[in-house]
Amino acid sequence: MRILIIYFSFSGNNRRLAEYLAKEIQCDICPIIEKKRRTMLTIVLDMIFKRSPKIEAIETPISNYDHTILVAPIWDSKIANPLKTLIKRKKNSLNNYSFISFCGFDRPGQKERITNQLTDLTGYPPKAVSELKVCELFPSEYRDEVNTISRYHITSKDLFKFEDKIYDFLHLIQRTKY
Output the average pLDDT for the chain.
Answer: 89
How many angstroms separate the CA atoms of 100 and 83, rounded? Answer: 12
- How far apart CA 120 and CA 79 sit, in angstroms, is 12
Tens digits of residue pLDDT in 45-100: 676 777 677 888 888 899 999 999 999 999 888 899 999 999 999 988 888 999 99
In words, the CATH class of domain 3-174 is alpha beta
Between 138 and 6, residue with greater pLDDT:
6
* Average pLDDT of the residues in 149-161: 90
Bridge partner residues of 68 (DSSP): 4, 97
CB 79 within 8 A of CB 118: yes
Dihedral class, residue 47 (left if φ above 0, else alpha if ψ from -120 to 50, else beta): alpha
pTM: 0.90
Tell me which of 64-73, 137-146, 160-169 is least confident: 137-146
Whether residue 178 is predicted with pLDDT greater than 60 in this model: the reply is no
